[in-house]
């Protein structure tokens, strides 16, 4: 595998046949970091992630580990969990995990899966249930469990905290930090800024079709003289909107 950047986006632009969702956007994610993408609803976070993964149209350059992201083989080193994920209604949790790992030619270790499930506050007994029997939160945890079990160099997670209660969110943050400590890289979007502030080494703030900040959250907070990322974010987007008139 190349030692190049896990994610490299250059001069990306996208629209829905009307105004640009974002334009001339460049961003890189470094190996071994947790990078958080934040912004208001509808600013284009999911659009950017889908464009990166070839699931949506955009212009510009997109690369995974130095390989053109439009090539299927470029995605062999990453696992992706979409926003509002729900597993197949027909498969049991165990079947879903096996199918996921089979895709990467990996073997399912049931004991490791049970241990990690507990680490996400998911009762291992739930893995014997079919998708239609799982709540939204349980389905989300199953998707996270499958992603984490791959052990791949890069995880791309769109709103991974969606549907999780406070305890599960805390446990997920612990698991993501552990994943990074083992050498993994994580790129995720979230509107829960306290989670972003806690675990991300760097953040990107998408607003008005542009990245208005990329860097450590603590530097962004200090720049705006705020007490938290939430307050700094509010200050930044208010300033940006005032400049736009």
185-189: strand order across its sheet: 78-81, 154-158, 185-189, 34-38, 202-207, 210-215
| Mean per-residue pLDDT of the chain | 94
**Which neighbouring-strand residues pair with 34?**
186
pLDDT (mean) for 92-101: 97
The band of 2, judged by pLDDT with boundaries at 50, 70 and 90, is: very low
Residue 12 has pLDDT above 50, yes or no: yes
Residue 191: pLDDT band by 50, 70, 90 thresholds? Answer: confident
Helix (H), strand (E) counts: the chain: 8, 10
pLDDT in tens, 39-77: 998 899 999 999 999 998 899 999 999 999 999 999 999
Give yes or no for residue 172 having a pLDDT over 50: yes
Residue 92 forms beta bridges with which residues?
130
Average pLDDT value for residue range 115-144: 96
pLDDT for residue 148: 98
Q: Which fold has domain 1-77+187-245?
A: Rossmann fold (3.40.50)
CA 164 – CA 150 distance, rounded (Å) = 21
Q: Mean of the pLDDT values across residues 180-208?
A: 96
Burial class (CB in 10 A: 0-12, 13-18, 19+), 121: middle
Please tell me the predicted confidence (pLDDT) of residue 245. Answer: 65
Q: Is pLDDT of 177 > 60? A: yes
Residues 20-43: pLDDT tens digits? 899 999 999 999 999 999 999 889
Query: Max CA-CA distance within the chain?
Result: 57
pLDDT at position 24, please? 94
Q: What's the pLDDT at 3?
A: 66
pLDDT of residue 240: 85
Confidence of residue 194 (pLDDT cuts 50, 70, 90): very high
Q: How far apart are CA 124 and CA 126, in angstroms?
A: 5
Question: Is the CB of residue 158 less than 8 Å from the CB of residue 82?
Answer: yes
């Amino acid at each position: 595998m190349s030692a190049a950047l896990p994610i490299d986006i250059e001069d990306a632009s996208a629209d829905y046949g009307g105004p640009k969702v974002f334009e001339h956007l460049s961003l890189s994610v470094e190996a071994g970091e947790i990078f958080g993408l934040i912004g208001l609803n509808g600013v284009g976070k999911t659009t950017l992630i889908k464009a990166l993964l070839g699931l949506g149209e955009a212009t510009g350059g997109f690369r995974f580990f130095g390989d053109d992201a439009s090539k299927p083989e470029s995605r062999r080193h990453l696992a992706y969990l979409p926003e509002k994920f729900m597993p197949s209604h027909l498969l049991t949790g165990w079947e879903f995990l096996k199918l996921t790992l089979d895709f990467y030619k990996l073997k399912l270790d049931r004991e490791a899966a049970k241990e990690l499930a507990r680490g996400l506050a998911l009762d291992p007994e739930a893995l014997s249930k079919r998708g239609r029997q799982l709540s939204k939160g349980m389905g989300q945890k199953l998707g996270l469990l499958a992603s984490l079990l791959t052990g791949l160099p890069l995880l791309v997670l769109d709103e991974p905290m969606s549907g999780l209660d406070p305890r599960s969110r805390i446990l997920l943050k612990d698991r993501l930090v552990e994943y990074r400590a083992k050498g993994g890289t994580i790129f995720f979007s979230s509107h829960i800024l306290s989670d972003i502030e806690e675990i991300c080494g760097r953040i990107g703030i998408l607003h008005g079709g542009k990245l208005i900040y990329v860097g450590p959250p603590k530097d962004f907070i200090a720049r705006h003289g705020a007490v938290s990322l939430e307050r700094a974010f509010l200050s930044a987007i208010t300033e940006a909107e005032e400049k736009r008139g």
